[in-house]
Amino acid sequence: MTNYKHLIRMGTNAEKKYCRDFQNQYDAIVINANILAHTTSSMSSFLGCELSKDFLIDPQTYAFQSYGNLLQTSKGKTPNANIKKSISSMLTSYGEKIKKIIEEEKRSISYNDFLGEEGEAFLHELSDNVIDFQLNTIQNQSLENSEYGEYIQYELASNTQTVNLKPFALIPPYFYMTENTVDNWILHNTNAIKYCKEKFCDETIYAQIVINKEILLNTGIIDKIIKYYSSTNADGYFIWIDSFDEKNIGQTYLNNFIYFLKNLKNCNKPIYQIYGSYFSIMLTKDCLSGTCHGMEYGETREVFPVGGGIPVSKFYMPDLHKRLLYRDALEFLLAKKYLVDKATYFSNVCDCKTCKQVINDNPEIDFSAYGDFNSTTFKRKAGNREYSVTMDYPTTEAKDLCLKHYLFNKTVEYEYVNTKNWQELIQQLLEAHNNSCDILGDDVDYLLTWANVIKSNFIEDQEI
């Protein structure tokens, strides 16, 4: 199997342009099944023919564990609310029984649904449909597409590699586990993998392990998960830890995360962190085969997200490996005198392609392009009182610049880690902390945490 170190997740159809523009700067792309199910034709053409990049389809079966999160948020999560259209499209592909549970019985799926002979048959049916969806949707749709059909038939007949119609790995149904539910779900999760390994024996089958971060505080549960999943003979593993923000998590969590990875690594199979930051990129030197991120916001993710938020401009600070609010980034750069001229900016902040387009003869003014905004005023009521509220939203241009700057820098991070040893990586973290803590204070303490965790796990007996 190809060594995929740098994976990128596309969250919406609007992000196609960035996947295309940066296609030579990452190894593979991850998409969610609901996006493919809802926009099958356009997404199949994009992935199979236009992009021709190795890809993975996340089947998202964990979503059925929370009925409320499948409802249309715009209409309110009431018993009469509709299932989100993209989820409904996905359900149609996954079989009548799961569709009946969600859309007719209007309830979450339960581990009890998979118990007994009937439950086992349901798990097998769901597994068949989930794998079939990943394996055949893009190929079937692409062949039926009048624009690409004849071209694809020709390419397949000539056995060339210019079209890519099949994921690099297939993921069986998987379900989210917490410290309280791991005993209920782990058997169903691993049975699905074993079934798919036997049924689809010629395919590459990866296990997706999705857990609550509190499990990392219990090495007994970690050991149980490793024991069960190693018995499946899966060809590799994708790890997703709920709300695992590597910049805002303590040393105990990070140390135990490495404990988990090192012990799972004994299976001698590839391991990928499905949502990871620069910390996970560093771990590709030892216990991770690769890691994945989304477009700016995808370095950590809740399994069941709670609402959204007001969009704000954030600038990715390369040395800090962190996105800062635009105003905080500006204050930091002014305090460090990095905006006095473009040479100073390029040598101390960033010299990516986007920054070289933005920063010219007046860096202080030029840098504002990353923080441009529009204001919207609307009315609100509090009892009998009505008042006006003004909110600022980043312009489309500012969001575009911030995102491209971010993507350029993620590529640099992978390349940097690949060429440096542990001591050099730790030294960079310490220097970045020392250079910024006078202004940003405790907001950059994660750099010290990362340095301590890396040292204790990989070079404890070596001099830094």
Supply the DSSP string of 360-426, one letter for each residue: -S-HHHHGGGGG-EEEEEEEEEETTEEEEEEEEEE-HHHHHHHHHHHHHHHHHHHHHHHH--HHHHH
Question: pLDDT value at position 75?
Answer: 47
pTM: 0.93
Question: pLDDT value at position 385?
Answer: 78
Question: pLDDT value at position 362?
Answer: 96
Tokens standing for residue 101: 């549970």
Question: pLDDT value at position 71?
Answer: 77
Quote the CA–CA distance of 187 and 193 in Å, as a whole number: 10
Angle at 217 between CA 234 and CA 178, to 5 degrees: 60
pLDDT digits (tens, 9 = 90+) for 283-305: 999 999 999 999 877 899 999 98
Question: pLDDT value at position 232?
Answer: 97
How many angstroms separate the Cα of 241 from the Cα of each of 30, 321, 402, 452? 17, 20, 26, 21
Quote the CA–CA distance of 419 and 425 in Å, as a whole number: 10
Phi, psi of 45 (to 5 degrees): -65, -40
Angle between helices 182-199 and 116-144 (to 10 degrees): 50
Q: Using only C-alpha atoms, what is the Rg of the chain?
A: 24
Tokens standing for residue 208: 């997706």
Quote the CA–CA distance of 250 and 259 in Å, as a whole number: 14
Q: How many CB atoms lie within 10 A of CB 96?
A: 12
pLDDT digits (tens, 9 = 90+) for 2-49: 689 999 999 888 899 999 999 999 999 999 999 999 998 888 888 877
CB-based contact 398:371 (threshold 8 Å): yes
Question: pLDDT value at position 464?
Answer: 42
Cα atoms in the Cβ-side hemisphere of radius 13 Å centred on 180? 0
CB-based contact 229:254 (threshold 8 Å): no
Question: pLDDT value at position 13?
Answer: 87
Tokens standing for residue 274: 């499905």
Q: Which residues in the chain show pLDDT less than 50?
A: 75, 461-464
Residues with Cβ < 8 Å from 17, sequence gap 6 or more? Answer: none
